Each structure stands twice: as C-alpha cells, then as structure tokens.
Amino acid sequence: MKTIGLTGGIGTGKSTVSRYLTTKGYKIIDADRIAREVVEPGQPALKALVEEFGSGILLEDGSLNRRELARLAFASPEGKAALDRITHGAIFARIEELQLQYAAELEKTSDAVIFLDVPLLFETGFDRKADLVWVVDVPDEIRVQRVVLRDDLTDEEVWARIKNQMSREEKIARADVVLDNSGTPEELYAQVDACLNEVTGGDVK
C-alpha cells in the first residue's frame, strides 16, 4: 500500500483533486477534518489547549472559540509553538491510526493507494507520512482571480495569504508529481488518471 500526500496552495484546486479521487473510490485522510475533530469537546487536545491558553478559549457550550485561540496563540512565537505542538501531535496520531486502519482494510490489494490531503503538508512536516507527494499547481495570478471570486476577498487579501504560505517554487521542487490546474477540470482529471496509472501499474479505478 502507498500513501500519497496531496497538497497545494490556496486557490490551486487541491480540493477538486481530492473530490475527484473520492468519486473514484480512493481512501482520503483529510487533515483539515481531523484538525477539527481533535479539538472537539472531550478530546485530550482540547484539554491541553485549555491548560496552555486558559478557559477563555472555550465558548459557553464548551466548544473551542477558534478566533480567541488564534488571537492568543499567534500573539507570540511561543504561543504558536505550543499550539502546533498540541494540535500537530494529535493530528499525527489520528493520521497514523487511519493509515493502520486502511492498511488492514486493503491488505489484500497489492496496489492499494490512500491519499493524505493536507494544505500545509510540507510546512507541518506531514510529508514524512507519505511515500509520494502530489502538488496541485497554478500560477499565482490565476489563484488570486479564483479565490477573489470564490471567497469574495480583495486581490490584496488573497496576495497576503499567498505570501504567508510556502512559495510555488519550493513546493514544486519538493514534489514528486506536479498537477497543472491552469486548464479545464477535464484536463486536470486526465493528469490525475495518468499519475494513478503509474502508481497502480495501469489498474486505475
């Protein structure tokens, strides 16, 4: 079984690729969803965050006040490091659990593939959990146009987000496969199918 890390900057279309892979029946480990799950009420990570940042990060119903947590955590490098230590540890553990679960489910499938969908795959070090890394790429100007339309943001707001992420050049340099999403969805899907053929020896779902 192979684990493929799937990543891409804001507006590149990573989620489009992830949804396409889901329709083809592939197992997807969604790090964003896991990140939400590990800080739900009753989870050890939420308890650890309260111990670190105080009960003020909780809403009246006991759930996490993400805005307040962000305000406190990003106020200092030490706060950000504490946030990462607590949440990344919990996310890593859940990813490992799902990898083992899927490996057991797919143990009789010699060419089985699961995907690890992580927006900040390299930045968080989660690429260490993958055998290969696929990066979805689009020129920055196209990314800005797409996100402005999608999220009703200004050009300046989108550029600010892009500048806070790892550069296209570095992602491409660290990728095993680069999927160019500057064309049509059909062209993107054709690239995905071609890459799957290489990974599975031609046995694409």
Burial level of 179, CB count in 10 A (0-12/13-18/19+)?
A: buried
CA dist., res. 113 & res. 6, Å (int): 12
pLDDT at residue 131, as a whole number: 94
CA dist., res. 117 & res. 16, Å (int): 11
pTM value is 0.81
pLDDT at residue 203, as a whole number: 58
N residues, the chain: 205
Single out the residue of 112, 113, 117, 98 nearest to residue 6, CA to CA.
117
Residue ranges of domains in the chain: 2-200
pLDDT at residue 110, as a whole number: 62
Pick out the chain residues at pLDDT < 50. none
Mention the CATH class of domain 2-200: alpha beta
Report yes or no: 17 and 23 within 8 Å, Cβ to Cβ.
no
